[in-house]
Every structure is written in C-alpha cells, then in structure tokens.
C-alpha cells in the first residue's frame, strides 16, 4: 500500500504520541482511564478494517475485519471483565503490526505504520500495567 503520508522516524513519533497521550490517565479516575484505553484499543484495532478494504481481496478483508473484532472484544473485556485485557490487546496489536512488516500476513500497510504503532502499543501496554497494578 502506498501512502501519501510519510513520517520520518516513525518509532520516535509513536513514542512522542504516547508521551502526549499518557498524562491524561494520571489525572482521571481508574474507571475513566480504563474507558479511554479501551476506546483507544478499539480505534487502533479498527485501522486494519481500512487496510483490509484497500487490499481489494475478500479473504484479506475478512481476516482484517475478524482481527479488528478481536481487538474490539479485548477492549470490551477490559471494560466489563478486567483491565488486563487492554494491555494484552495492545501487545497483540503490536504483534499483529509486526506481522504486517514483511508482510507475513494480512493487508499491506504504509511503511511508517508498523514501527509507529509497535512503539506506541508496547509503551501504552507497559504504562497501563504499571499504572493499574501498582
């Protein structure tokens, strides 16, 4: 997939976005923080629906849709069951991103997307575990 957007040093930009978004979790209640994190997971998981649609292959579309649904389910589980489902979902999202790097599986994604998202996902997952567990 060719993107008209080009991000220089996408991993650094992903880390910077994490640094911009993390402080809100420090000033709201845990339940609000979990809700924000769940929405974030659902939204970033949903990005692959667009990538799947742009692949113009029904199997790839269905695969990406099913995986996006799984990320949505992890977000919902974080709200209804236990917060740990959200950092787990973010970690699996980083893995799913990495699988698109070669690409091993799934829809083609912009070159910058994988390092950007892997860094953001893993930093956010670690941050949420530290924030909620300690």
Q: Give domain limits for the chain.
A: 30-133
Q: Shortest CA distance to 125 belongs to which of 35, 24, 22? A: 22
Confidence (pLDDT) at 62: 96
List pLDDT tens digits, range 55-98.
989 999 999 999 999 999 999 999 999 999 999 999 999 999 99
CA 75 vs CA 38, 83, 115: distances in Å: 4, 9, 22
Confidence (pLDDT) at 2: 54
- Count other C-beta atoms under 10 Å from residue 113's C-beta: 22
Considering only residues 29 and 101, tell me which one the structure prediction assigns the higher pLDDT.
Answer: 29
Q: Shortest CA distance to 104 belongs to which of 60, 69, 68? A: 60
- Terminal CA-to-CA distance of the chain, rounded, Å? 41
List pLDDT tens digits, range 1-49.
455 677 889 999 999 999 999 999 999 999 999 999 999 999 999 999 9
Confidence (pLDDT) at 79: 98
Confidence (pLDDT) at 93: 97
Whole-angstrom Cα distance, residue 85 to residue 77?
6
Q: Which residues are CB-neighbours of 5 under 8 A, at least 6 positions away?
A: 110, 112
Confidence (pLDDT) at 7: 85
Is the CB of residue 1 less than 8 Å from the CB of residue 107?
A: yes
Considering only residues 71 and 106, tell me which one the structure prediction assigns the higher pLDDT.
Answer: 71
What token pair was written down for 58? 């029904």
CA 61 vs CA 2, 47, 121: distances in Å: 17, 12, 23
Whole-angstrom Cα distance, residue 36 to residue 4?
29
């Amino acid at each position: 997939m060719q993107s008209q957007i080009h991000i220089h040093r996408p991993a650094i930009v992903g880390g910077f976005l994490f640094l911009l978004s993390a402080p809100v979790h420090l000033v709201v209640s845990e339940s609000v923080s979990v809700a924000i994190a769940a929405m974030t997971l659902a939204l970033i998981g949903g990005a692959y629906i667009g990538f799947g649609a742009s692949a113009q292959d029904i199997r790839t579309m269905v695969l990406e849709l099913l995986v996006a649904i799984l990320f949505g389910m992890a977000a919902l589980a974080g709200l209804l069951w236990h917060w740990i489902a959200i950092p787990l979902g973010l970690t699996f999202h980083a893995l799913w991103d990495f699988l698109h790097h070669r690409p091993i599986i799934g829809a083609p994604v912009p070159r910058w997307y994988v390092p950007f998202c892997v860094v953001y996902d893993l930093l956010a997952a670690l941050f949420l575990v530290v924030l909620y567990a300690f």
